[in-house]
Amino acid sequence: MDQVFAPAPESKTELGGYRILSSTAGIRVSPLQLGAMSIGTAWSDLMGSMDKEQSFKLLDYFFDASGNFIDTANAYQDDESEVWLGEWMATRQNRDQMVIATKYITDYKSYAFGKGWISNFCGNSRRSMYMSVRELLQKLQTDWIDILHVHWWDFTTSIKEIMDSLHVLVEQGKVLYLGVSDTPSWIKALEERMAKGEILRGTYSNGQSEDERKISEALEKIASGHGTEFITAIALAYVRAKAIRVFPMTTFRALSIKLSQEQVEYLESVKPFEVGFPNNFIGPDPHVTA
């Protein structure tokens, strides 16, 4: 009985400082999300890759360090990312301890069938969504998806069809939370529905890459002051300082770096970040950003 009220043990690393995902999604996740795009070897000619042994070592390291939040997608490494992640969870018997975010939309079958036969294995449609979810549940060896993202907007399907189809998946218990990424901000109806459920890639995400802010020298200056050469860690520390519900998908170093208000203001002065309308009209939400 004493164990019920005993305090939690000290976490091995800062990854154990679990956070509530959002104001409307009470699931607890590690403050950094592990991106699984490089888990697999099928895309080795395009980008980074890891064989199964290396992938399992990475996943073990992340899990042993108290990480529980992993991002993947239906097409990553021609299915290998989800398949190997599913095998790892089954082998380690830790599915219930993990929070898995995945995505649908991208073609994930042309590598097997050729481009001429994949018209309904991709896109925003209900059919594409159904087939992707059916298969990713099998690949991940799970009964449910913690977070399903609409990966990108392809302008072929109505908002109503997408939202009605996602709602069915939630009602069936196959999906717990919904998210959207790589989608134009003017699709307000979709964003408003998603915001009630869940996760948007917003102001401080790479969705602003069309006007990429080049502040490398400023990042290097701040990095030097913190005794590190990794400017990405400074960039992530900045994002975490500005928005409490941002979960970067990379380096642990950002967790131990705390930027002062003066350093945050210095970075913003180098190249002002134009958040665009309506944010520059109504101002920031004090509940989600600094």
- C-alpha 198: how far from chain center: 12
- The β-bridge relationship of strands 199-200 and 175-180 is parallel
Give CA separation, 278 vs 186, 281, 286, in Å: 10, 5, 15
The C-alpha angle 238, 241, 243, rounded to 5 degrees, equals 105
Q: Which residues contact 90 (CB under 8 A, 6 or more apart)?
A: 141
Amino acid found at 87:
E
Contact 78, 135 (CB under 8 A): no
76 catalytic residue (yes or no): yes
Q: Which residue of the set 76, 177, 204, 238 is catalytic?
A: 76
Question: How far are the Cα atoms of 12, 36, 264 from residue 75, in angstroms, in the given order?
Answer: 33, 11, 37
Task: Give 239: exposed, middle or buried? Use CB within 10 Å, 0-12, 13-18, 19+.
Answer: middle
Q: Which two tokens stand for residue 220?
A: 């290097």
Residues acting as catalytic residues: 76
